[in-house]
Amino acid sequence: MEPRQVADLSPDERRAFFERDAGVDAVRGDVRDIVERVRDEGDAAVREFSREFDGAEVANIDITDEAERAVDAVDDEVLAAIRESIANVREFHEAQLPEDWTREFEDGRMLGKRFRPLDRVGVYVPGGTAAYPSSAIMGVVPAKVAGVEHVAVVTPPAEDINPATLAAIHEAGADAVYSVGGAQGVAALAYGTETVTRVRKVVGPGNKWVTAAKAEVRGDVEIDFLAGPSEVLVLADDTADPAAVASDLIAQAEHDPNASVVTVTDSAGLAEAVCEEIEARAPERERAETIRAALDNDASGVLVARSMPEAVLFAEEYAAEHLSIQAEDDEALLDRISNVGSAFLGRFTPVAAGDYASGTNHVLPTNGGAKAFGGLSTDTFLRSSTVQRLSADGLRDLSGTVTTLAEAEGLEAHAESVRVRFEDAGDE
């Protein structure tokens, strides 16, 4: 890997960084068929697709009890780590719960906002080569903290589903666990089957099949957002430790050959050193092949900006899922960046800490989604409503405005519903 100058990037090279895509379009047609079959045929279709795509004969789709038993099957050390992670994720999400409020305005209007949990939600927990107990925690804990009564988890079937994943699902507080993955798992949650209870919202990360299925069912059921491969952008100056920067890039690169990992810095010396550290360290890792593919992808690179403001502009346009700032004045730099899923400040804050255990959520907007929305949070599982009461004087003050607008819209009965309240009952 060689440093490149931001100023020298061609329009195509810039587009590769700024218009990342999750590659879901190619499977949309196949996914539509799967979703329709599950919607129409329920468990029978679920079993058939599990056989076809996962090579699994699923005896019981409902594995809630198996998840509970898995707690005894995992190492004590892994169980302790799962519990510590859950405690930190719970603490951070409890701290963000909104409170209902009402406010009395002086002119006789009382207005307020209330927050109530969804009653049933579904969480997709990936399986396969990337078994992610941590994603179970990130999906289930905020839902339970928000007060969701029924949290259902779907995860791909396998002869031996990773016990750590099952234990994490159980420990995080899931109410039901189903052995069904891929597009069929999303469809089962969205439409329900004989075994799977239909939910109101489906959340969680997954591969392109899962992502395409979420796009397909959206409208019939709420979804969180469409998440693509992991990304990290490290904004660094010459005070950064090149080994730490390189390791953060390599870590997210091991997720997926399509991961996008970028450093942008105003220091040519640091860029050179980061490239050297990457070349020395990447081949040493167990998942070296995936890492190499991600590093070689067009949306990855070590970039030199002419100044920190140019680097900041690049970061703002890139809109990273994870933004790591390893530079002096990291908070001042972050103040100048709005488009970011989750920010990691300083040398001792590796992205992996947030991936697993510090408490923030790791289900975050990718592909520039951070320009429009944030990651999973308790808000994902709440809906708000408003409430109001007007005093007699309050309505009297407002009546001219309401009746004028109602008549301007040609909705005279709306106006009358205000006037009637001031008719003198004695005149009747």
CA 293/CA 369 separation, integer angstroms: 23
Q: Could you tell me the sign of the dihedral formed by the alpha carbons of 143, 145, 146, 151, in that order?
A: positive
CB 4 within 8 A of CB 273: no
255 is in an annotated binding site: yes
The residue annotated as part of the active site, out of 170, 231, 277, 322, is 322
Q: Which does 134 bind (CB under 5 to 8 A by kind): ligand HSO, Zn ion, none?
A: ligand HSO
What secondary structure does DSSP assign to 52-108, as a single string? Answer: HHH----S-SB-HHHHHHHHHHS-HHHHHHHHHHHHHHHHHHHHT----EEEE-TTS
Partner whose footprint covers residue 364, from ligand HSO, Zn ion, none (CB < 5 to 8 Å by kind):
ligand HSO
Report the C-alpha gap between 125 and 165 in whole angstroms: 8
Q: Which of 206, 355, 381, 390 binds ligand HSO (CB under 6 A)?
A: 355
Closest CB to ligand HSO among 90 and 255?
Answer: 255
* Position closest to Zn ion via CB: 355
231: closest CA among 192, 258, 200, 212?
258
The reply to whether 355 sits in an annotated binding site is yes
Q: Is 10 annotated as a binding residue?
A: no
| CA 177, chain centre distance (Å) | 20
Which is closer to ligand HSO, CB of 45 or CB of 131? 131
Asked whether position 211 contacts ligand HSO by CB under 6 A, the answer is: no
Q: Which residues contact 319 (CB under 8 A, 6 or more apart)?
A: 339, 340, 365, 368, 369, 370, 371
For residue 399, how many other CB atoms are within 10 A of its CB?
Answer: 16
208 binds, among ligand HSO, Zn ion, none (CB under 5 to 8 A by kind): none
Determine whether the annotation assigns residue 96 to a binding site: no
Q: CA of 81: how far to CAs of 171, 251, 262, in Å?
A: 11, 19, 30
The answer to the question of whether 230 is labelled as a binding residue is yes
Quick one: 306 or 371, whose CB is closer to ligand HSO? 371
Is residue 250 a contact point for ligand HSO (CB under 6 A)?
A: no
**Separation of CA 354 from chain center:** 13
Q: Are 373 and 381 in contact (CB under 8 A)?
A: no
In one letter, which amino acid is 215? A
- Looking at the Cβ atoms of 193 and 361, the one nearer to ligand HSO is 361
Q: Which of 186, 184, 173, 280 is nearest to 224 (CA)?
A: 186
Q: Out of 85, 88, 134, 211, point to the residue binding ligand HSO (CB under 6 A).
A: 134
- Sketch the per residue contact string, 51 through 90, with ligand HSO: x for CB under 6 A, - otherwise: ----------------------------------------
150 assigned to active site: no
Its sign, for the CA torsion 146, 132, 228, 185, is negative
Pick the binder of ligand HSO from 270, 364, 376, 390 (CB under 6 A): 364
Non-local (6+) Cβ contacts of 47 within 8 A are: 58, 61
Q: Does 260 bind ligand HSO (CB under 6 A)?
A: no
Tell me how far apart the alpha carbons of residues 4 and 269 are, in angstroms, rounded to a whole number.
Answer: 12
* Residue 124 marked in a binding site: yes
* Shortest distance (Å) from residue 15 CB to ligand HSO: 23
Positions that interact with Zn ion (CB under 5 A): 355
User: Does 230 engage in binding with ligand HSO (CB under 6 A)?
Assistant: yes
Indicate the residue whose CB is closest to ligand HSO: 355
Is 417 annotated as contributing to ligand binding? no
Is 314 a binder of ligand HSO (CB under 6 A)? no
Binding positions: 124, 184, 207, 230, 252, 255, 322, 355, 409, 414
Question: What residues are annotated to the active site?
Answer: 321-322
Residues lying near ligand HSO in the complex (CB under 6 A) are found at 132, 134-135, 230, 252, 255, 355, 362, 364
- Show binding-site residues for NAD(+): 124, 184, 207
